[in-house]
A and B are shown apart, each in its own frame.
Chain A
Amino acid sequence: EAGVAQSPRYKIIEKRQSVAFWCNPISGHATLYWYQQILGQGPKLLIQFQNNGVVDDSQLPKDRFSAERLKGVDSTLKIQPAKLEDSAVYLCASSSLTSGGVSKNIQYFGAGTRLSVL
């Protein structure tokens, strides 16, 4: 079973530029998460999708961050314009419900995209 794929792995941009990250979850996983991991801290949820609908985006800085999951599969996360404090690793994760409706409660993570804003 292929894991969660993310690209690019690394990105360096100047402040005020825009950037986009892509995530392809594990096949069949209905739930997709984007986390931000700042150096020295644990990951923090930015947004959670169930299929193509948003479940939780309460911690997404909506003035500069946006995310979509148009067909309920792949997702993109965009930052426009970027600030210095956006330097972090952006992790995508996915999870599924079993066919019986009982959650496996397990989130599978991609390798992340390391963003440096100069």
Chain B
Amino acid sequence: AQSVTQLGSHVSVSEGALVLLRCNYSSSVPPYLFWYVQYPNQGLQLLLKYTTGATLVKGINGFEAEFKKSETSFHLTKPSAHMSDAAEYFCAVMAGGSQGNLIFGKGTKLSVKP
């Protein structure tokens, strides 16, 4: 069975500081991995995804994530936080198959201090 663990339910950074949100996964098959962002009272928006190929994946709004098979990790980073990045971030792994459902972590709420 596949699962996702997000370390830290709440992360706080200063504006301009590095953002690092941690995600570890468990999968018996090569994983498809995703990061979604959720702003208050809105649905989830895809930030980036990893399926195959290059392990460093670039997404929208300056975010990127690196797939590390040896560490079973897919951490999300952004070099410089902006106030508009404050939101909840979810890491997800796709259940078996390319049209499988998503298995989400519990989410990490990012706060950005001025």
Contact = CB atoms under 8 A, between A and B. Distances in A.
B49 A111 contact: no
Given A33-B101, A42-B92, 11 more contacts: A41-B106, A42-B107, A43-B44, A43-B104, A55-B99, A91-B44, A103-B98, A105-B51, A107-B102, A108-B46, A109-B43
A109 B44 CA distance: 6
A110 interface: yes
B92 A105 contact: no
A112 B43 contact: yes
A20 B99 CA distance: 26
A45 interface: yes
Interface of B: 4, 9, 32, 36, 41-46, 49, 51, 90, 92, 94, 98-99, 101-107
A31 interface: yes
Given A42-B106, A105-B51, A109-B43, A95 B92 contact: no
Interface residues of A, number: 29
Among all A-B residue pairs, the 8 with the closest Cβ atoms: A42-B104, A109-B43, A103-B98, A45-B101, A109-B44, A111-B43, A110-B43, A43-B104
B46 to A, nearest CB: 6
B76 to A, nearest CB: 15
15 contacts: A4-B43, A33-B101, A33-B102, A40-B107, A42-B92, A42-B104, A43-B104, A45-B103, A91-B43, A95-B99, A105-B49, A105-B99, A109-B45, A111-B41, A112-B42
Interface string A47-80: 0101000011000000000000000000000000
Nearest to A6: B43
Contacts of A111: 41-43
Nearest to B41: A111
Contacts of A16: none
B48 to A, nearest CB: 11
Contacts of B104: 42-44
A118 interface: no
A25 to B, nearest CB: 12
A93 B94 CA distance: 14
